[in-house]
Amino acid sequence: MKLISYRTNDGNMLGIVTERGVLDVAAAAQAAGIPRAITPDAVFRRGLPVLDRLRALVEASTDAALFLNEADLTCGPAVPNPGKILCVGLNYAKHAAESGAAPPDEPVLFSKFNNTIAAANEDIPLQADWRTVDYESELGVVMGATVRNVPVEDALDAVFGYCNMNDLSERDFQMKSGQWLLGKTLDKFLPLGPYVVTADEIPDPQNLSIKGWMNGELRQSSNTADMIFSVAEVIAYASRIMTLEPGDVISSGTPEGVIMGMDPRVWLQPGDEYVVEVEGLGRLVNRMVEA
C-alpha cells in the first residue's frame, strides 16, 4: 500500500493511493461505522497491526465519493510526528570519501528533531545566515513494531514502510563542533514523502536506485546496494542502544554527489529546487525560498 498524508483544515489526514484515486481514510472509516478517527498519527503510532484494517477498508470502500484526486491534495509530511528521528552518517563509501572521511567501522548515528519535518512540495525557508546548505538524498525507513536487541535477520520484519527523505544540512554549523546536530536540525531540514510505501511492496531495500536532481541536473545517482551498513544492520545496531518503536524514522545515509564534495561549492540558495527519487517511492520535490 501507498499511504499519503494531506493537509486539511482539521489537520493532516490519511489517504491510501489506489487505482480509483486516493481513499479518504477518515471518510471511509466513518462510512464503515468505525467510531474512532484514523489519522496518520494514529496509524504510525500503532504500526504494522493496523495494515490489515486499512486493506479491509480499501476493499469495503465502493462509493466513488470516498476517493479524491491526488492532484487536488496538498501533501502533509509523510510521517507528520515521528517518535525518534535517527540518521546514519557516511553510509555510502564514495560519500565518505568525498567528505574526506574513512569508511566507518560501525554505523555513525545522529539525530534530528521534529522541527525538521516538512512535506513533499513544501517550500524550505533559508535564513540569510544559513550560507552552506547542502542536500542529501536518502532512503527513509519507518518503523512499524517495537524492537530491542533485534537480530539482523529479523530486523526488517519490524519495518512499516519506506519513503524518500532529503537530509538537508548546513555544513558550517555541522562542522562547528564535534557534534553534527546544529547543522542537521534546522527548521524544515527533513522533507519526506510524498508517500510511505509499505514494506511488503519493497521486499529488498538494498536494491533500489537512489537519485537526486538540483534544478533538473542529476547530482546523485547510486543504488542502496552500495550502503556500508544495510537497513537491517542499522536497525539491529540501534536497537542494542535504544528501544525502537512504531513511528520512529531512520534516514539511512546519502550517496556521493553532495555539494560538500564539489569544487567549487555552490550551495543551495533561495530559488533552487531539489528532487529526491528512490525507486518505487515517488518524487520528493522541495524548493528553497528566502525566510
Interface with Zn ion (CB under 5 A): 136, 167, 254
Which residues, in sequence order, are bridge partners of residue 5?
14
Closer residue to Zn ion, CB minimum distance, 167 or 256: 167
Amino acid at 262: M
| CB-CB neighbours of 200 under 10 Å | 10
Q: Choose between 5 and 137: whose C-beta lies nearer to Zn ion.
A: 137
Provide, rounded to whole angstroms, the least separation between the CB of residue 178 and Zn ion.
17
- Closer CB to Zn ion, 167 or 245, in the complex: 167
Residue among 67 and 229 whose Cβ is closer to Zn ion: 229
- Residues with Cβ within 8 Å of 97's Cβ and at least 6 positions away in sequence, in order, are 103, 256
To Zn ion, the closest distance from the beta carbon of 148 in angstroms equals: 25
Taking the complex as a whole, the smallest distance from the CB of residue 138 to Zn ion amounts, in Å, to 6
- Closer of 167 and 248 to Zn ion (Cβ): 167
Q: Which residues contact 87 (CB under 8 A, 6 or more apart)?
A: 109, 110, 111, 112, 138, 167, 184, 250, 251, 253
Retrieve residue 251's grid coordinates: 534516514
Q: Grid coordinates in use for 172?
A: 558550517
Q: How far is the CB of 103 from Zn ion (least distance, A)?
A: 15
Dist CA 141 CA 253 (whole Å):
11
Name the residue whose CB lies closest to Zn ion. 167
| Closest CB 269 distance from Zn ion, rounded Å | 20
Neighbours of 34 (CB within 10 A): 14
Q: Of 122, 106, 101, 119, which is closest to residue 163 (Cα–Cα)?
A: 119
In the numeric block, the cell 537519485 is attached to 211
